[in-house]
Structure 1
Amino acid sequence: MTLLQRLRDLTRSEDDLVADELRSEASRSGCEPVAEGADREVITVRGTVRSVTHRPSTKVPALVAELYDGTEAVDLVWLGRREITGVEPGRHLRATGRLCRRRGGATIYNPAYEILPTS
């Protein structure tokens, strides 16, 4: 590592360093960046859950977890669920499903998921 690279790393924000680490973890495990996923493509993503919310509805409740992979956030939406044990902020997940891009946001409905150990 050159002196210039070290100085650049010292001036980077904590968020930039975390995003770099998430991107490299996803790449090493063979997952695709959310930012590069095309609409209606089946993708596998990996990242950290930033928030979990419950969207109550008179028809179908939904649990929504925002997953950040270092490139872009994706909403993982489980229809008919109020909670999923282990899916909580700060957890690392790998999720697979069909990416839906609407109104500028990325969403995967009812993804298959795996809770990963925190490194």
Structure 2
Amino acid sequence: MTATDAVTTRKAWTPIGQVKTRAVETTGGRISYIEVSPHDAPARLTMRVVDPSGAIDCIFLGRRLIAGLEPGATVGVEGRVAPGDDVQVMFNPRYELRLA
């Protein structure tokens, strides 16, 4: 597979505001913030991804650091959407850093 093939086979993103709960969705946007659990708690990294239509939290259980994921980066995520307290959630989604 060439670099051109990889670009043409990427899935299109669904706007975050249109993802459906309990469905496997591919969406993405800009990372607005990352929250890491304290060292005396189970490892957990929460990343909020936003686009003009909404926000979704991506929660990585068992992780406190993922190289390249930092506020301001653009990321695509794929996983099953779950209801959350204030925004929908994806647990341990597949992710891909993208150029802005």
Query: How does the TM-score come out when normalised to structure 2?
Result: 0.81
The question of 1:83 aligning with 2:49 is answered no
Query: Which consecutive residues of structure 1, in runs of 5 or more, have no partner in the other structure?
Result: 1-28
Alignment RMSD (CA, Å): 1.6
Aligned partner letter, 2:84: R
Higher strand share: 2
- Contact 1:49–1:67, Cα closer than 8 Å, also in 2: yes
Q: Which sections of structure 2, spanning at least 5 residues, go unmatched?
A: 1-10
Does the CA contact (< 8 Å) of 1:45 and 1:95 recur in 2?
A: yes
Using the size of structure 1 for normalisation, the TM-score is: 0.69
Identify the structure with bigger relative contact order (alpha carbons < 8 Å, sequence gap 6+). Answer: 2
Structure number with the higher helix fraction is: 1
Counterpart in the other structure of 1:53: 35
State the alpha-carbon separation in 1 of the partners of residues 85 and 33 from structure 2.
20
Identity, % of aligned positions = 28
Give the number of the structure whose alpha-carbon radius of gyration is greater: 1
Q: Which SS does the other structure have where 1:35 is aligned?
A: helix
Give the corresponding residue for 1:68. 50
For 1:5-60, what per-residue CA distance to the aligned partner results, in whole angstroms no more than 9, with x for missing partners?
A: xxxxxxxxxxxxxxxxxxxxxxxx61111211121110001200000110237563
Q: Which runs of 4+ in 1 moved over 4 A?
A: none
